[in-house]
Amino acid sequence: MAAVYGSQASMPVDETAALAAVARVALGKRPLLNVYGGDWPTPDGTGIRDYIRVVDADHWRWQRLNPDGYR
């Protein structure tokens, strides 16, 4: 089984570790984040990348935190 950190045996127990690794890449404290796996149900076996605009994510976050719409 594949994981962000390599084999499943080397995965940290803390489930927030993947998010921390992403944050370290974003802050430039880690050069890249390897995502392993070549058995995805896609034509070439690699995972599909899904992108989201930061502005959209913030908009949805704001709507969720402020259901009455006050800014």
> CA of 56: how far to CAs of 24, 49, 52, 67, 69, in Å?
22, 17, 7, 16, 16
Radius of gyration of the chain (CA): 16
> What's the whole-number average pLDDT of the chain?
75
Whether the CB-CB separation of 11 and 36 falls below 8 Å is answered with no
pLDDT band at 33 (very low <50, low <70, confident <90, very high): confident
Measure the CA–CA gap between 59 and 24, rounded to whole angstroms: 24
The residue type of 12 is P
Q: Is the pLDDT of residue 55 over 50?
A: yes
Identify the pLDDT of residue 1: 44
What's residue 6's pLDDT? 55
pLDDT at site 70: 63
Phi/psi for 39 (5° steps) reads -120, 30
